Structure 1
Amino acid sequence: AYTVHLNMQEYLWDGIKRDRLVWLGDMHPEVMTINSVFGYNEVVPKSLDLIREATPLPDWMNGISAYSIWWLLIQRDWYYYQGDKTYLKEQQPYLSGLLRQLLSKVDASGHEKLDGWRFLDWPSSENPEAINAGLQALVLQAMKAGGELCTVLGDETLATECLETAKRMIKVAPQVTKTLLKSKIAPDAPGSKQAAALLALAGLMKPEEADKKYLSVNGAQGFSTFYGYYMLRAMATAGNYQGAIDVIRQYWGAMIDLGATTFWEDFNMAWLPDAAAIDELVPEGKKDIHGDYGDYCYKGFRHSLCHGWASGPTAWLSEYVLGVQVVEPGCRVVRITPYLGDLDWVEGTFPTPEGIITIRHEKGTDGKIKSDIKAPTGVRVILENSK
């Protein structure tokens, strides 16, 4: 939360040390953190509008086809958490045009054919099979979100077209999964945890299969700062809440153990042996993590140590441990289903347009969870006990 807060300036920057730019894919974990911690903040619509105005169709935002999809998915999530239909209505001309553009990139058999820079995140960028699988999943998510938003906006024709295309895309699930299985084997994880997470979240792979074959293999090895959020969500979808909590401790916890006060642009578990903390002078014989490490475009001191795309655990903890899931736009109805794993208790607050929900869950000696919830008028809470 602190990492994202530092990047909430005139716009939602990523990151405060270096880029100071609006990167749309990076924004999704950041917006989910804002939704879960801060509630409405003007930097979100300002940033979404800025990049929309800078990207006339048929261009892709930031030159990356997936990033235009993330703009669409952010619009869906922002509407559900904030309930601002007036703002959503303002997006309709561009949103509809983008959906029609995406529809034109799905062939008759249901396969995506996106052009532009085909990219998920940097650690998966050298794995074309994983990128193909991941983009199939992202376009499918876009079709589902487009169907929802067009229904809200009263465009039933476009909503139907999106949902029919989604049905066509789901039919290619076995082939997409097979493609992932053929992906090159990285030294620290089989296939691609990025692609497996997206496939599970889109319904193209059984979450339990994705978790067993990819996400839980070798613990936090193969996790990434940006897509780690989706890996955690996919693990939760598979029911592996404890495994996700353990990965947060291992992966994000390792950064804290190395002296981090904000989360980083890039991190690899392979860096840990003999690594010096970043808040001390590097002793002889120790690795200089800040000076010598990082990959792709952010090596050495160019490596950002305050990057909001790494904030996924913040939103994830609110969604699955505190247990808050938004059911109706504007948080008019929320479902609270806590999964404490090996934790004895959890407490926190959750912002809604109607006010703050205050929540505490405590595990009894019998393993059952007792919840104390105070919600503002106008928010209906459905409390469900975790299994």
Structure 2
Amino acid sequence: MEFQTNPDIRFITNEAFEAKIKQIEIEMYHEQVLPKRIVAAAPESVSATGLVEVAGYNPGEGIRMDRKEQVIVDFGEHCVGRVSLAITSLGSPPDAPAKLRLSFGETPIEVIRSFDSYKGELSASWLQEELLTIDVLPETLELKRRFAFRYLKIEVVDTSPKYQINLKLSCTTESSADKAKMKQLDTDDQLLQEIDRVSQKTLMQCMQDVFEDGPKRDRRLWLGDLRLQALANYATFGANDLVKKCLYLFAAQTTNEGQVSANVFIEPRLIPDDTFLADYSLFFIDTLLDYYRETNDRETLTDLYTTAIAQLRVLEDNVLPTGEVSVPQGWWAFIDWNEPLEKQIAIQGIFIYSYKRLKELAAYMEDNKLVDELDDKIQTLEQYALTTYYNEEKGLFVDPASRQIAIPSQTWMVLSGVGDGELRRNVLENLLALDDEQIVGCNSPYMYHHYVEALLQEGFREEAVRIIKLYWGGMVENGADTFWEVYYPEDVTFSPYGDEMINSYCHAWSCTPCYLFRKYGIA
């Protein structure tokens, strides 16, 4: 996989925006969760559901363990929070320290396999592991680090032959979403109800001091995720100040040209990453527009309007006079985790989509000069897309060089409103008629969200619900209590990073069914 490094980039700080960020207070909500059972790996199992119960867990008794012993504790649900351990000794006075290794897993695979077997491309430091040495017993430890997990593997590395230990465990969860605001979907369809519940829980657990992409990994604010999280939040928890804070975080430090980073860190202070993705930068426009529509917050719109314009201006050199968006080599835009995908058509669609959203912002700001400028550019971009990419014989948008037909290409042309309604509906009908081997599909919930929304936008409700049930429902059937960063139904072990253990199994961009259900009246 590719990484961007741009060490020579210099960021400009907007101190007024940073001051506003400090004024936004985000309330945190907590809940205590206790273990539910002791589990063990099923024989020869390394699957996502490969654990079986071997004993219950009694909170009053805890877990008794010998030296060299290990157990896997199931908390019964995915948790994001701080873990505490009350450790006592049994038998003779403890004549040596107790050394414990704790391995946390969002899914069984992380506690069935040894972390030493990890072979992925991302840093192994993301794997959640703690080595504890306790010199004096009894002791109650509050682990400093926040963990995202359902399963906890405890290994007694050593004590001494003279004593055993007893452990009592609890987790205090953390979220800036009020769980009491979770809403049940009004439907008799139990699978849709469960998909909705899991999508809301996924969003809730990614709502921290910012909208994180994943509470295990990467634990930071990504613009592509924020756009979808904000939509889901408006439909459920209504924590709109969190959206506001995140918009200001991106705008508070930009490049000299005004471009926002693809993601930002907030600890130990606000630090923009040196990664830039064209589609993510453009989505700042859409995220601000959605926020204004939801809140009518004129002050924030006025503050951030210039930043929104800058995202288009900084990328304008890539728009040729013909209307073609020239795509550089390398990891310039995301679109999807999909190596075979030719991204040109999808990127063209995202530019058109973003120009239209900026036009709406300009109308709200009564910036008539920019509205007129954008009208001309939108017409040129759309005309190029129709004359160059639309294949009348197939009724689809086709890559002119490779002849590739891809779901992301059709999706972004439809979402951007290219052509009239009849053309867009025909595109989707023709796409749905093709066999899987004839097209390049989607690999991530992020891209599936956009595909499903394109179908719903054009009235393909039945097909959209079918895909939601197959895709998000497939994760539920594979044991998901929160939705995953990547799910490939033909291979549930698929990872864009080379090892499924590093995947995030509570990931923001997969949280949108709760938004889609409510916006499009699926109940």
Partner of 1:335: none
Partner of 1:222: 441
Supply the distance in 1 between the matched residues of 2:370 and 2:205 (Cα, whole angstroms): 39
State how 1:199-278 maps to structure 2 within 5 Å: 199-204=413-418, 206-215=423-432, 217=434, 222-223=441-442, 224-271=444-491
Partner of 2:281: 68
Identity, % of aligned positions = 22
Supply the distance in 1 between the matched residues of 2:521 and 2:440 (Cα, whole angstroms): 23
Residue in structure 2 matching 1:20, options 216, 219, 235: 219
Which runs of 5 or more residues in structure 1 are unaligned?
Answer: 272-288, 323-345, 347-387
Residue in structure 1 matching 2:521, options 321, 331, 351: 321
Letter in 1 for 2:341: N
* Residues 85-142 of structure 1, C-alpha deviations (whole Å, 9 max, x = no match): 11111102222323333444322111123558332333334323xx110111111111
Q: Mark the CA change 1:147 to 1:102 in structure 2 (over 3 Å): closer, same or farther.
A: farther
State how 1:353-364 maps to structure 2 within 5 Å: none
* Residues 182-210 of structure 1, C-alpha deviations (whole Å, 9 max, x = no match): 5868xxxx722112111111123632233
The structural deviation recorded for 1:75 is 0.9
Supply the distance in 1 between the matched residues of 2:480 and 2:453 (Cα, whole angstroms): 24
Partner of 2:305: 92
1:177 equivalent to 2:390? Answer yes
Q: Mark the CA change 1:135 to 1:231 in structure 2 (over 3 Å): closer, same or farther.
A: same
Partner of 2:333: 119
CA RMSD of aligned residues (A): 2.4
The structural deviation recorded for 1:321 is 2.1
Letter in 2 for 1:80: R
Partner of 1:11: 210
Contact 1:225-1:310 at 8 Å conserved across structures: yes
The structural deviation recorded for 1:267 is 0.5
The structural deviation recorded for 1:37 is 1.1
Contact 1:183-1:191 at 8 Å conserved across structures: no
Supply the distance in 2 between the matched residues of 1:215 and 1:25 (Cα, whole angstroms): 26
Secondary structure of 2:446 counterpart: coil
1:195 equivalent to 2:370? Answer no
* Residues 317-359 of structure 1, C-alpha deviations (whole Å, 9 max, x = no match): 111125xxxxxxxxxxxxxxxxxxxxxxx3xxxxxxxxxxxxx
Supply the distance in 2 between the matched residues of 1:182 and 1:85 (Cα, whole angstroms): 44
The structural deviation recorded for 1:31 is 1.2
1:105 equivalent to 2:323? Answer no
Letter in 1 for 2:450: Y
Contact 2:345-2:399 at 8 Å conserved across structures: no
Contact 2:251-2:260 at 8 Å conserved across structures: no
Contact 1:221-1:269 at 8 Å conserved across structures: no
The structural deviation recorded for 1:159 is 2.0
Letter in 2 for 1:153: M
Supply the distance in 2 between the matched residues of 1:52 and 1:299 (Cα, whole angstroms): 34
1:2 equivalent to 2:222? Answer no
Secondary structure of 1:44 counterpart: helix
Secondary structure of 1:226 counterpart: helix
The structural deviation recorded for 1:167 is 1.2
The structural deviation recorded for 1:298 is 6.4
Partner of 1:150: 362
The structural deviation recorded for 1:304 is 0.6
The structure number with the bigger radius of gyration is 2
Supply the distance in 1 between the matched residues of 2:401 and 2:244 (Cα, whole angstroms): 38
Secondary structure of 1:55 counterpart: strand
- How many equivalent residue pairs? 297
* Residues 350-382 of structure 1, C-alpha deviations (whole Å, 9 max, x = no match): xxxxxxxxxxxxxxxxxxxxxxxxxxxxxxxxx
Supply the distance in 2 between the matched residues of 1:257 and 1:221 (Cα, whole angstroms): 25
More helix by share: 1
Contact 2:254-2:260 at 8 Å conserved across structures: yes
Supply the distance in 2 between the matched residues of 1:216 and 1:262 (Cα, whole angstroms): 32
The structural deviation recorded for 1:218 is 5.3
Secondary structure of 1:164 counterpart: helix
Contact 2:345-2:389 at 8 Å conserved across structures: yes
Supply the distance in 2 between the matched residues of 1:86 and 1:2 (Cα, whole angstroms): 31
1:54 equivalent to 2:272? Answer no
Contact 1:134-1:199 at 8 Å conserved across structures: yes
State how 1:329-344 maps to structure 2 within 5 Å: none
More strand by share: 2
Letter in 2 for 1:297: Y
Letter in 1 for 2:241: E
1:295 equivalent to 2:513? Answer no
Partner of 1:30: 229
Supply the distance in 2 between the matched residues of 1:298 and 1:260 (Cα, whole angstroms): 21
TM-score for both structures, normalised by structure 1: 0.71
Contact 2:282-2:312 at 8 Å conserved across structures: no
The structural deviation recorded for 1:261 is 0.8
Supply the distance in 2 between the matched residues of 1:208 and 1:182 (Cα, whole angstroms): 22
Supply the distance in 2 between the matched residues of 1:216 and 1:237 (Cα, whole angstroms): 19
Letter in 2 for 1:70: F
Letter in 2 for 1:34: N
Contact 2:399-2:405 at 8 Å conserved across structures: yes
